[in-house]
Amino acid sequence: MTYDPAAEVVQLCSDLIRLDTTNFGDESGPGERKAAEHVAALLDEVGIDVEVYESEPGRTSLVGRWGGNVGEPVLLHGHLDVVPANAADWTVDPFSGEVKDVDPGGLCVWGRGAVDMKDFDAMLLSTVRARARAGAVPERPLVLCFTADEEAGGAKGAGFLAREHRDLIDDCTVAIGEVGGFSTTVRGRRLYLIEAAEKGMAWVRLTAKGTAGHGSMRQPDNAVTKLANAVARIGAHQWPVRLTPTMEVLLASVAELAGTEATPENAESLVEEFGDASRMLGAVIRNSANPTMLEAGYKVNVVPGEATARIDGRFLPGFEDEFWDTLAALAGPDTTISKDVHMGALETGYDGDVVAAMTSSILAEDPEAIVAPYLMSGGTDAKYWDDLGMKCFGFAPLRLPEDLDFTALFHGVDERVPVDSLEFGARVFDRFLGAL
């Protein structure tokens, strides 16, 4: 039985990028309907039935089942929406799906979603379609899930499925999705990072109240001043290093290459070993709270009675209480904190047969590599699956050129993924399905 799991992956990725699924976080985007129908047709063509589900008109997700009946079902999930792109900033049309050579990166598929996450959608589809055509059905039952709205928190996609259609996925014990399995190079060795944890998300509103009045007079009870002081304290705060079990394993792997041991004291220097990837990893050894928005007043000569700020807070698994206590102390008694969005952190034990399958599938294609877990600074649909009791991992395998600043491409200008990396990912993911 022979088949090529990578045969279609580049074309599938380009085709998905050309379907504009921009999510502006409001009702103004095109939605995911066209992409969902496209994916449903691709699966139907090889005999895999799926159903589409809409939380609102155009906000479309789809779910299907495939595979055998040995063991507990595994959820394979990808989202269909992408963040906005300003075409004027790009080298190519961000929705062209163009295949173009560039240095660094080599021959790449370009476009919004190439990295986040139509690359993984394409890998999954290419592998499943090749296996279905060849009759190479995995023994383990698989739930194939493509969601809407992940880029705005997932409430209209994964959240909707978890709330309203839980029966479709409730028997899954493991979920495999995005932002993991990509390589970075440390001291000449490729190290593949499998996501096993995510920081929690706390988007909060800070409000200060004062006495409104004329801007020309003394106004000691000034809401803007109170807010500015609180925001300055929060923005300048140096959060202490905290190592979760996932990061202890990752940093131990790097420390071994560096000929030392991982400790909280040298954690930052070990993170710097990752080069450009330290942009992401430097954010996951401590809690964080970044002021991002300010709003006050309506005229320059009027002191407003209220001023507000928005804070993007992220907390480590196991350190949420410390986050809230510290934030309250920094905000002080002159401001109040309210939660706009709150999603918990997650951390999955890095063990078991699925971890073994991910590791062996990478090493079969890249025998000299190191495979280790990491904690991601952002959030994914995994938060919803974690709430349903699933073990969650990010595993979209990509062998990347050492000189490609991959983490900068997430939501970035000229987002692109190397063709060789896509094809490598499809081969690895095929081995993974066979090893489950």
Instruction: Please report, for the domain that includes residue 239, its CATH number.
Output: 3.30.70.360
Q: Residue 399 carries which side chain, given as an amino acid letter?
A: R
Q: Is 164 domain-assigned?
A: yes
Q: Is 3 domain-assigned?
A: no
Domain count of the chain? 2
Residue 50 pLDDT > 90, yes or no? yes
Q: Are residues 281 and 350 in the same domain?
A: no
CA 34 – CA 23 distance, rounded (Å): 14
Residue 1 pLDDT > 80, yes or no? no
Instruction: List pLDDT tens digits, range 390-432.
Output: 999 999 999 999 999 998 999 999 999 999 999 999 999 999 9
Residue 295 pLDDT > 80, yes or no? yes
Instruction: List pLDDT tens digits, range 192-245.
Output: 999 999 999 999 999 999 999 999 999 999 999 999 999 999 999 999 999 999
Q: Is 417 domain-assigned?
A: yes
Q: Is 137 domain-assigned?
A: yes
User: CB atoms < 10 A from the CB of 422, how many?
Assistant: 24
pLDDT value of position 394: 98
Q: Are residues 189 and 314 in the same domain?
A: no
Q: Are residues 76 and 186 in the same domain?
A: yes
Q: Is 1 domain-assigned?
A: no
Q: Are residues 214 and 332 in the same domain?
A: yes
Query: Where is the domain boundary, 319, 342, 365?
Result: 342
Q: Is 289 domain-assigned?
A: yes
Instruction: List pLDDT tens digits, range 125-171.
Output: 999 999 999 999 999 999 999 999 999 999 999 999 999 999 999 99
What is the CATH classification number for the domain harbouring 73? 3.40.630.10
User: CB atoms < 10 A from the CB of 304, how many?
Assistant: 22
Q: Are residues 262 and 193 in the same domain?
A: no
Q: Are residues 391 and 243 in the same domain?
A: no
Q: Is 257 domain-assigned?
A: yes
Q: Are residues 295 and 148 in the same domain?
A: no
321 Cβ neighbours under 8 A, 6+ residues apart: none
pLDDT band at 102 (very low <50, low <70, confident <90, very high): confident
Q: Are residues 216 and 307 in the same domain?
A: yes
CA 116 – CA 407 distance, rounded (Å): 11
User: CB atoms < 10 A from the CB of 286, how many?
Assistant: 20
pLDDT value of position 103: 84
pLDDT band at 266 (very low <50, low <70, confident <90, very high): very high
Q: What is the mean pLDDT of residues 287-304?
A: 97
CA distances from 355 to 72, 174, 196, 204, 301 (A): 15, 10, 10, 35, 62
Residue 269 pLDDT > 80, yes or no? yes
- Can you read off the two tokens belonging to residue 300? 């320059």
Residue 383 pLDDT > 80, yes or no? yes
Query: Where is the domain boundary, 342, 364, 398?
Result: 342
Q: Is 2 domain-assigned?
A: no
Residue with tokens 């002021």, as numbered in its chain = 291
Report the chain's mean pLDDT, rounded to a whole number: 96
Query: Where is the domain boundary, 299, 323, 342?
Result: 342
CA 226 – CA 330 distance, rounded (Å): 12
pLDDT value of position 104: 80
Residue 72 pLDDT > 80, yes or no? yes
Q: Are residues 30 and 91 in the same domain?
A: yes
pLDDT band at 332 (very low <50, low <70, confident <90, very high): very high
CA 50 – CA 374 distance, rounded (Å): 32
pLDDT value of position 116: 95
Query: Strand, coil or helix: what is 284?
Result: coil
Residue 253 pLDDT > 90, yes or no? yes
By residue range, what is the domain housing residue 312? 200-342
Q: Are residues 248 and 318 in the same domain?
A: yes
Q: Are residues 219 and 241 in the same domain?
A: yes
Of the candidates 315, 303, 291, 292, the residue with the CA atom closest to the CA atom of residue 231: 291
Q: Are residues 192 and 204 in the same domain?
A: no
